[in-house]
Structure 1
């Protein structure tokens, strides 16, 4: 029997890349899983290729999104993995729309669903996991716009919401999970590899060769399963090739 047998897991941003890996991993642990994404075509492909997953096409940045999602499946574990592609240009060549893309997607979706949780839309014992990025700790490259700050805000948001949940006696757990290394084969990862290597004037292959202790999307999925178990103390955690650890 899987560790999530009898649990409902909602993965917002679950149709591709890291989100899809999380969906596949929690399914293998016996959970009932709802994958939420904006792209109906990607969700259809996911449902064809992944037996048993439920899907919902919805824009996680819309005010009504939490109500729509929770009416479809009330989660015991809610994972927010939705994210925009970071820009790939020097600061002076970006528009504000470019610079703020990850605030308008990653942070806004996290904010709306965390707000709904604190307003009583999730039952006591529920766990919320926000997928951040190692750029939140390293600062990221100068050509990535507001990406690093947005991912750091997700860490702050998890901590703020945990304090508020404790103050209100809601019995909720909020956590941020920080994959430490860029991940080839994902949309965000490949965009980052191409953008950073071009900015540094090296080939993508040379950039990847410089990386060590890299985690895979499957490692992130396993880390989510561990956090969903609710036994680890803390709010922010990192995952790398060395495994899961409390964030410093």
Structure 2
């Protein structure tokens, strides 16, 4: 029997890349899984390839998104993995819309769902996992706009939400998970690899060769399953090729 047997797992941003790996990991552990994403076509492909997954096309940055998602499936585990591509231009060449893209998507989606949870929309015992990034620790390159700050804010948001949940006696668990290395084979990862290597003036292959202890999307999926079990103490975590660890 899987570790999430019979539990409801909702993955917002679950149609592709890391989100899809989280969906697949949860399905493998016996969960009832709802994948939420903007793109209906990507969700259709996921439903065809991942037997048993339920899907919902919704924009996680809309105020009504939590209502729509929770009406479709009330989660025991809620994973927020939705995110925008980081900018790929130097600061002086960005507009504010470019710079703030990850605040308007990654942070806003996390905020809306955490707010809904703190307003009593999730039952006691529910777990919320925000997918952040190692850029929250490293700061990222100067051509990535507000990406690193947005990912750090997700970690702050998990900590703030946990304090509020405890103060209100809601019985909820909030966590943030940061994959520490950029990952090839995902849309966000490929875009980031191209952008960073161009900024550094090296080839994508050379940039990838410079990285060590790189996690895979499947590693992230396994880390989320471990956190969803609710037995790993802490709020902020990292995952690398070496596995899951508490954030320093």
With normalisation by structure 2, the TM-score equals: 1.00
Match of 2:85 in 1: 85
Match of 1:137 in 2: 137
Quote the offset at 1:232 in angstroms. 1.1
Quote the offset at 1:94 in angstroms. 0.3
The 2-side partners of 1:244 and 1:17 are apart by 19
CA deviation profile, 1:169-217 (whole Å, cap 9, x unmatched): 0000000000000000101100100000000000000000000000000
- Structure 2 unaligned spans of 5+: none
Quote the offset at 1:127 in angstroms. 0.1
Aligned residues: CA RMSD = 0.3
With normalisation by structure 1, the TM-score equals: 1.00
| SS at structure 1 position matched to 2:142 | coil
The 1-side partners of 2:183 and 2:200 are apart by 18
CA deviation profile, 1:62-120 (whole Å, cap 9, x unmatched): 00000100000000000000000000000000000000000000000000000000000
Match of 1:169 in 2: 169
The 2-side partners of 1:129 and 1:24 are apart by 16
Match of 1:223 in 2: 223
Match of 1:112 in 2: 112
CA deviation profile, 1:141-189 (whole Å, cap 9, x unmatched): 0000000000000000000000000000000000000000000010110
The 1-side partners of 2:239 and 2:185 are apart by 17
The 2-side partners of 1:190 and 1:87 are apart by 13
Q: Please give the residue correspondences for 1:72-221 in structure 2 after superposition, counting only pairs within 5 Å.
A: 72-221=72-221
CA deviation profile, 1:8-30 (whole Å, cap 9, x unmatched): 00000000000000000100000
- Structure 1 unaligned spans of 5+: none
The 2-side partners of 1:49 and 1:225 are apart by 20
The 1-side partners of 2:232 and 2:18 are apart by 22
The 2-side partners of 1:234 and 1:23 are apart by 23
Quote the offset at 1:233 in angstroms. 1.0
CA deviation profile, 1:34-82 (whole Å, cap 9, x unmatched): 0000000000000011100000000000000001000000000000000
| SS at structure 2 position matched to 1:82 | coil
The 1-side partners of 2:108 and 2:82 are apart by 10
The 2-side partners of 1:31 and 1:47 are apart by 15
Match of 1:3 in 2: 3
The 1-side partners of 2:56 and 2:214 are apart by 31
Write out the 4+ residue segments of structure 1 that deviate beyond 3 Å after TM superposition. Answer: none
Aligned residue pairs, count: 248
